[in-house]
């Protein structure tokens, strides 16, 4: 069989975006996933694409850089699957409202302030003013991942034992020079404990309604604009759920109850429930880059437990793009581009998202316990 240049494991938004950019750079790419395209956390996402508000932290900065990259990318390449509805970010309470006054100077993306009265005119019930980002919007999650992978070989299969043999990765009879892991919260094919990938359970409900909701909004949950008679309610919130489970309508109906404090949900009729695990990191930044050979490093340099900083050794031709969390469709395009640039061109990964940032800290903590 003719070998591929890169095999991507995982067909959520991280894997789909990475595969898309790899193919754009001329690579022959194969994507593998045990469940199908966007059948996990990505497919269950509300897929809201909006900036992060805050006090100008590095996480806010890179999130908003990713947002600017993402919406332009979607509008240029997938305009039918990105709906620029605008998104209003609304304070959760009085204390949060006071914080919003401090956040304003750090809004680097185009925005307006919507007063409580303005939002009342839009049918949104809140005593607080909020930020309206007109460039923000909502993606069609599963359809977008499928569109990203159009023309790229895809096989639904469970990967159990990747083998690196004579300079090639061999998986289920397929061969490639490079292997990219976009496996989400199930991050167990290699010893990657240092990345600290953790899952947060997310739920989305699609509701039929005659209500005309002109804009999308986010408070403690996300409420989409009405599109073709459907409003999406979504939230990523349950860290106590450790393993994926079947979706239950009661979880989506719980979102409807919460949304009732913001908009009129009296005629909402649940048409579909979605759920899935979103993979994040301990510091909420994405995880990009090469994969450290953990076994070798711990055996060769036990002094890392005391603060030593030896040069890192990596597993050959093994890469990761993971940990996009609840902002998968914000981070996906930029992180996919960074992963592809690393694999094809050898471009160094932005230090803010390079998974190397976590290795030595993990060694010191785990080896001293």
pLDDT digit string, tens, across residues 212-222:
999 999 998 99
The two beta strands, 112-114 and 216-218, are unpaired
Cα angle: 51, vertex 53, 54; to 5 degrees: 145
Name which of 48-62, 80-94, 120-134, 239-253 the model is least confident about.
Answer: 239-253
Q: Which two tokens stand for residue 163?
A: 């083998």
Contact 32, 4 (CB under 8 A): no
CA atoms within 13 A on the CB side of 101: 5
- Measure the CA–CA gap between 281 and 357, rounded to whole angstroms: 12
Distances (CA, A) of 262 to 45, 279, 298: 20, 28, 52
Which element (helix H / strand E) includes 252?
A: helix 249-259
Instruction: Specify which residues 276 forms β-bridges with.
Output: 202
Return the CATH architecture of domain 4-41+143-197+282-368. 3-Layer(bba) Sandwich (3.50)
Give rounded-to-5 percent helix, strand, coil for the chain.
Answer: 35, 25, 40
Write down the pLDDT at residue 277.
87
- Measure the CA–CA gap between 109 and 214, rounded to whole angstroms: 21
Domain assignments of the chain as residue spans, ordered by start = 4-41+143-197+282-368, 198-275
Instruction: Specify which residues 198 forms β-bridges with.
Output: 280
- Measure the CA–CA gap between 361 and 341, rounded to whole angstroms: 27
Candidates 3.40.1130, 3.90.700, 3.30.1120, 3.30.70; CATH matching 198-275: 3.30.70
* Average pLDDT over every residue of 161-165: 95
> What is the share, in percent, of the chain residues with pLDDT greater than 90?
84
Torsion on CA atoms 10, 16, 17, 21, rounded to nearest 10:
100
Torsion on CA atoms 73, 76, 77, 79, rounded to nearest 10:
110
Write down the pLDDT at residue 242.
62
* Average pLDDT over every residue of 303-318: 94
What band does 5 get if pLDDT is binned at 50, 70 and 90?
A: very high
- Measure the CA–CA gap between 253 and 286, rounded to whole angstroms: 31
- Measure the CA–CA gap between 4 and 175, rounded to whole angstroms: 6
Place of tokens 């999406």: 232
What band does 225 get if pLDDT is binned at 50, 70 and 90?
A: very high
Q: How many residues does the chain have?
A: 369
Place of tokens 């990191």: 281
Separation of first and last alpha carbons in the chain: 47
What band does 202 get if pLDDT is binned at 50, 70 and 90?
A: confident
* Average pLDDT over every residue of 45-51: 89
Name which of 226-230, 305-309, 359-363 the model is least confident about.
Answer: 305-309
Judge if 4-41+143-197+282-368 and 198-275 fold alike in CATH terms. no
Q: Which two tokens stand for residue 226?
A: 């009405």
**Each residue's pLDDT tens digit, 102-161:** 999 999 999 999 999 999 999 999 999 999 999 999 999 999 999 999 999 999 999 999
DSSP 140-187: -HHHHHHHHTTTSEEEE------EEETTEEEETTEEEEEEEE--TT--
Does residue 332 sit in helix, strand or coil?
Answer: helix
Rg of the Cα atoms in the chain: 21
**Which residue spans within the chain are E strands per DSSP?**
4-9, 29-33, 48-49, 82-83, 87-89, 112-114, 130-133, 137-139, 153-156, 163-165, 168-171, 174-181, 198-208, 216-218, 222-223, 230-238, 269-280, 287-292, 314-322
């Amino acid at each position: 069989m003719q070998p591929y240049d890169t095999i991507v494991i995982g067909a959520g938004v991280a894997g789909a975006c990475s595969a898309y950019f790899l193919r754009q750079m001329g690579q022959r790419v194969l994507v593998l996933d045990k469940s199908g395209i966007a059948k996990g956390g990505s497919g269950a996402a509300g897929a809201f694409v909006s900036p992060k508000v805050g006090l100008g932290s590095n996480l806010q900065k890179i999130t908003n850089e990713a947002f600017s990259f993402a919406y332009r990318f979607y509008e240029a390449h997938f305009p039918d699957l990105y709906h620029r509805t605008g998104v209003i970010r609304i304070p959760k309470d009085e204390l949060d409202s006071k914080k919003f006054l401090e956040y304003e100077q750090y809004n680097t993306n185009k925005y307006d302030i919507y007063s409580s009265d303005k939002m009342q005119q839009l049918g949104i019930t809140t005593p607080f003013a909020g930020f309206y980002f007109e460039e923000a919007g909502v993606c069609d999650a599963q359809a977008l991942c499928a569109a990203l992978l159009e023309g790229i070989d895809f096989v639904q299969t469970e990967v159990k034992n990747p083998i690196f043999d004579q300079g090639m990765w061999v998986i289920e009879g397929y061969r490639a020079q490079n292997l990219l892991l976009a496996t989400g919260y199930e991050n167990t094919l290699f010893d990657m404990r240092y990345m600290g990938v953790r899952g947060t359970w997310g739920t989305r409900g699609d509701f039929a309604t005659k209500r005309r909701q002109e804009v999308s909004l986010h408070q403690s949950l996300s409420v989409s604009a009405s599109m073709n008679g459907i409003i999406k309610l979504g939230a990523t919130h349950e860290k106590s759920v450790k393993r994926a489970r079947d979706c239950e309508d009661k979880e989506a109906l719980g979102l409807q109850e919460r949304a009732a404090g913001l908009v009129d949900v009296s005629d909402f009729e649940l048409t579909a429930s979605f759920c899935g695990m979103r993979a994040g990191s301990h510091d909420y930044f994405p995880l990009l880059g090469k994969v450290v050979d953990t076994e070798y490093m711990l055996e060769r340099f036990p002094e890392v437990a005391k603060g030593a900083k030896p040069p890192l050794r990596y597993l050959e031709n093994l890469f990761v793009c993971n940990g996009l969390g609840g902002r998968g469709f914000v981070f996906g395009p930029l992180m996919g581009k960074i992963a592809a640039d690393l694999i094809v061109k050898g471009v160094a990964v932005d230090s803010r998202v390079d998974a190397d940032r976590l290795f030595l800290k993990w060694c010191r903590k785990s080896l001293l316990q």
